[in-house]
Structure 1
Amino acid sequence: MRILTASDRSLLVEAADLDEAMRLNLAWDGTPGVVERIPGARTVLVRFDPVRTTAASLAAVLSATVVDVEHVPHTSAVTIPVQYDGEDLAEAAALLGVSAEELVNRHLAAHWQVAFSGFAPGFGYVVGNDPLFDVPRRSSPRTRVPAGSVALAGAFTGVYPRESPGGWQLIGRTDAVMWDIDRDPPALLAPGTSVRFVASREAVSAAEPVEASAAQGMPRGRHAPADLRSAPARPDASSPETSLAPLGSADESSNGALSEPKPSSLTRPRPAIEVIRPSLQLLVQDLGRPGHAALGVSASGAADRTAMRDANRAVGNAPGAAVLESVGGTALRFHGDGVAVVAGATGDITLTDADGVARRIPHGSPFATVSGDELALGHPAQGLRYVIGVRGGIDVDAALGSRSSDTLAGLGPAALAAGDIVAIGDAAVAAVDPVPRPRDLPASGDLVELAITLGPRDDWFTASALETLTTQEWLVTPRSDRVGIRLHGDVPLERETPGELPSEGAVTGAIQVPPDGQPVLFLPDHPLTGGYPIIGAVTDRCLDLAAQLPPGARIRFRIEGARS
């Protein structure tokens, strides 16, 4: 066992093999101070609460763990019917030195078990007992892999839960639904599940879980209040261990309008907010949904947690009340009277009443709203993301206990479009605490210093690359979103160790380095696992600042703390 620093709040534990990693992951269930565990192909990422334990104390506890030699027990069993007609079937068979028919027969005959979950809800990394299956990924990932595609990569097989880019070898397809938020549990392939693949032409006598889930249709990713009509979630912007999409590039046609709340004749209309002009990305966010990594679900949540807490304090909400997060300027109309505030990025803030009278609104100061008032936010002068808080919070249905929109996983409400209306809640009002003086957020062209910890894979890079990481300025490119910030430097980071890592966990703030040597700084909607090495991670206290970096800003990294 080797224990490495993964961030200032997480450790990466290397095991001897996949089986040991799975057993260690189970053994650490309930360990004091541990917030979440993310098992990988030969690792377990352990996130901890620094108030309850320290990295050194936790490392001592983890390293003293003794596990038996028994295999991980099966937690459940499912049967998945497959039509073996994938585009890569012949190529994958050739890579393995067998015929396509033999590949299919051995895929059907092998005993499979879900080892861990990865980049998105419902994506299980399934490992089998047949040593034949060790297939390299495609040299050039596809931009669109259909939902239900059955694929191979490395020693794993998996099923894509929804359409997304991907680099795995496609050998077939299934109609089984991998993820359904309304099913219990939502993930068909959860860690520990025993999996049997059958040719779809066969009678599937043992497929009750599959048939039940398939009958429910594809999972619903958007959840609004009962009196608002739901719209489908946005498609994936990323995929297992592949590239990020440009900011705001997801298909807007997937987003339908929400209907106006219908008042009862005996009650007053619910207060609500109507979107007049959306920003590049206008989302509902709260503190996120930590604790669901085993299902392949990241915590997500507000990118700038400080701004969200400031906004909620200013209007008297609980700290975790849902807010609107706007990348760039937007225009909103209030239905009903209330109290609102704008925090986060700074720029021109104007409130115009129904008579057309406009007034400037100070940043961070709560202001009364009257039905018909329109709030206009200009392009930020500093920062990137506005946070709009309203007394009572934004009221949309929760998914796994959170109202956050996870743009990678498609969980929670979809990005808001013109004409959408979201309800305002009626949560009890707490003490009001106006936002302090606006933070000093960066503008395009500014240089920002971010503290980082090295690891867990800094030893995959040359000594000159480590020097380049901290001495070179890194440009924030426009190809950035809530999944991550794509950075560019004049000198790429040079690898000492070639090849790919077996998939392993990643944290928010991780600095992952693809083969081109240009880093990606992960933000809240990042994939849980990946195969590119992570050279370091931004410290927790710098994450909110990182989320406010606009395109054109420059970063200089400063190493903080010692590597384990």
Structure 2
Amino acid sequence: MVTPRLRPMGERALLAEVDDLAQVVGLHAALAADPPVGVDDLVPAARTVLVAFDPARITPAAVRAWVRSAADAAPDAVTPGPLVEIPTRYDGADLEDTAAVLGIPVAELVDRHTAARWRVAFTGFAPGFAYLVSDDWPWDVPRLRQPRTRVPAGSVGLAGEFTGAYPRETPGGWRLIGTTGAPLFVPDATDPVLLTPGARVRFVPQRSRIPAAPGGDSAGGGSNAAAESSRSELSSRPRTSPPPGVAALEVLAPGALAMVQDLGRPGRAALGIARAGALDRAALRIANRLVGNAETAAGVEIVLGGFRARAVTDTWVAVTGTLAEVRVDGRAVDAYAPVLLPAGAELSIGVARAGARLVLGIRGGVAASVSLGSRSTDVLASLGPAPLRAGDVLGVAEAPDPVPVVDVFPWSVPGSVVEVSLAPGPRADWFTPAAQRALRETAWTVSSDADRVGIRLDGPVLERVRHDELPSEGMRPGALQVPPHGRPVILLADGPVTGGYPVIAVVTDATLDRLAQARPGDLVRFRGV
């Protein structure tokens, strides 16, 4: 019988913690067999299963009762998944050093790795990245002391008790022993992830060069540096012509960064796929309402303003989010109001005077291509449309509702102090009482490391009472991870779905959108735990 320890992960998720990976596998199988309405995601990890739920459809008490009941029925053995063979050339940069660390010949390392019966314990870190374990593998392989800033796509590595393959180029600290061309993650495929939890895996040695897999560079990484790399990849993607839908706007200047966003890809974290979507979801919903769209329609998220576009045909638009000057052919118009752009008119959105992000809603919604159920751009995973650039033409679909008559829409300018509310985190007990007080009492400064993946805050060090390494566990947007340097990092919509740093608290969903407007140098204050 599995007896999970239930830990809160904010107000919309919990971690069910057990003693070992075998119990995780059994518990996850029991939970996945018949989840109740309102449970949106199950994310297995090394010692936990994250259960994400919607409090509007199921109460936290009901979720806890269901998890305990399922744990009582968890099977001792799980039916093996499908067998997947991974062609591998053992030519990794760390092959010889890893064999030396383990005190065995290289040939024995290769033989043991190929003979082992591996299975996917869980996924995470990036779409398509699977953590594989084996009862036949006797070693705990130390990670590199200095992680690489770039690990080539297709690299096969070892770390701890795990082996795995990188779906795309990303930073990483695993020891690289080989390469594969297997299509680990193909976002436009019916089944985009090759290695799913429970699958059996066999590494098949190859002597010839392994060709690159189609779409093998389309998965994500795990840091702000990876986000920058992904953004570069996205920007270099070829455009399709003509655009889908009816041509509405031609981009003249995208500003610092402009990209298509809708409400994202919820419910796919078990495959390593982040929610993504607009950081300021409220601003997107309002922009869509103002032009008669469904709230789920895609708009344009604009970082720091400086955006210009020309109407190809008569087009209704609305600009929401932060404060910036909005003009049509040089004439000032209101934000948070529907505006008709006659064909040929130029829309300009000035530099943001406060806050960080604006949303441009276009009647009909941006008709970008759909990837895994969403038109959102995920900068970490390189999913979705490429960031906009001059010359792009935005197509739109039909709008379901008429443009409403709006005299004035109430809104406020984001301040330089962002206040957000906190709910309990699963690892609050890893920190001293002084750290808990400092978290609430400090005015934290937003550092220059702030993007759609997460925000690093500068301030006092949050001291721990525990200093052991935390096995990887499920993460959520809003989670406050505390790395070894002791300063919190708030994960946002494009952040990784698993992580190995303790989460002291979680920003409530109702106040999470406010962080979309935090810019370097702004202050963040936390209220309530």
Among residues 483, 491, 494, which one is paired with 1:514 in the alignment? 483
Letter in 1 for 2:214: G
- Corresponding residue to 1:303 among 274, 279, 282: 279
Assess, with a 3 A threshold, how the Cα gap between structure 1 residues 274 and 262 changes in structure 2: closer, same or farther.
closer
Equivalent-residue separation in structure 1 for 2:142 and 2:444 (angstroms):
32
**The one of 437, 460, 464 aligned to 1:467:** 437
Percent identical? 46
- Contact 2:234 2:387 (8 Å CA) reproduced: no
Q: What is the one-letter code of the residue matched to 1:381? A: R
**2:508 corresponds to which residue?**
539
Q: Distance in 1 between matches of 2:208 and 2:243?
A: 50
1:40-439 to 2 correspondence within 5 Å? Answer: 40-65=45-70, 66-201=72-207, 217-219=214-216, 236=220, 238-239=221-222, 242=223, 250-251=231-232, 254-256=235-237, 258=239, 261=242, 270-329=246-305, 330-352=307-329, 358-430=330-402, 432=404, 434=406, 437-439=409-411
Asked if structure 1 preserves the Cα contact closer than 8 Å seen for 2:227 and 2:379, the reply is no
- The alignment covers a number of residue pairs equal to 522
Partner SS for 1:27: helix
For 1:105, give the aligned amino acid. Answer: D
For the 8 Å contact 1:96–1:132, the answer to whether it is kept is no
C-alpha displacement of 1:335:
1.1
Q: Which moved more, 1:81-90 or 1:384-393?
A: 81-90
Structure 2 SS opposite 1:79: strand
Between the aligned partners of 2:246 and 2:445, the Cα distance in structure 1 is 45
Instruction: Identify which range, 509-518 or 59-68, moves more after superposition.
Output: 59-68
Partner of 1:486: 456
Q: CA distance change for structure 1 residues 435 and 92 in 2, over 3 Å: closer, same or farther?
A: farther
Other-structure match for 1:227: none
Q: Does the 8 Å CA contact 1:247/1:481 hold for their aligned counterparts?
A: no
* SS of alignment partner, residue 294 of structure 1: helix
TM-score, normalisation: structure 2:
0.93
Output the amino acid matched with 1:427. Answer: A
Per-residue CA distance 1:308-350 (angstroms, 9 max, x = gap): 1100100000110000001111112221111000011111111
Q: CA deviation at 1:257?
A: 6.1
Q: 1:381 to 1:287 in 2, by over 3 A?
A: same
Q: What amino acid is aligned across from residue 450 of structure 1 in structure 2?
A: V
Deviation at 1:101, TM superposition (A): 2.2
Shift in Å, 1:441 = 4.0
CA drift at 1:298: 1.4
Distance 2:140 2:18 in 1: 19
Displacement of 1:403: 0.6
Distance 2:213 2:465 in 1: 49
Partner-residue secondary structure (3-state), 1:91: helix
Instruction: Quote the offset at 1:436 in angstroms.
Output: 6.1
Distance 1:53 1:433 in 2: 37
Distance verdict in 2 for CA 1:440–1:50, change over 3 Å = same
Q: Aligned-residue CA RMSD in angstroms?
A: 2.4
Per-residue Cα deviation, 1:111-140 (whole angstroms, up to 9, x for no partner)? 101111102211111111124232222222
Change (3 A) 1:90 1:519: same
Distance 1:436-1:290 versus aligned 2 partners, 3 A rule: farther
Where 2:9 maps in the other structure, the secondary structure is: strand
1:34 pairs, out of 36, 39, 44, with 39
Q: Gaps spanning 5+ residues in structure 1: where?
A: 204-210, 222-234, 264-268, 353-357
* Residue identity in the other structure for 2:430: W
Classify the secondary structure of the residue corresponding to 2:99: helix
- SS at structure 2 position matched to 1:38: strand
8 Å CA contact retained: 1:133, 1:154: yes
Residues 304, 367 of structure 1: alpha-carbon distance in 2 compared, 3 angstrom cutoff: same
Specify the code of the residue in structure 1 equivalent to 2:363: R
The residue type equivalent to 1:341 in the other structure is A
2:17 aligned partner = 14
d(CA) in 1 for partners of 2:249 and 2:455?
30
Displacement after TM superposition at 1:499 (Å)? 3.4
Q: Is the 8 A contact 1:364 1:435 kept in 2?
A: no
SS at match of 2:401: coil
> Shift in Å at residue 33 of structure 1?
2.2
Q: Residue 322 of structure 2 contacts residue 414 of structure 2 at CA under 8 Å; is this kept in 1? A: no
CA distance in structure 2 between the aligned counterparts of 1:434 and 1:532, rounded to whole angstroms: 47
Rounded to whole Å, the distance in 2 between the matches of 1:38 and 1:417 is: 36
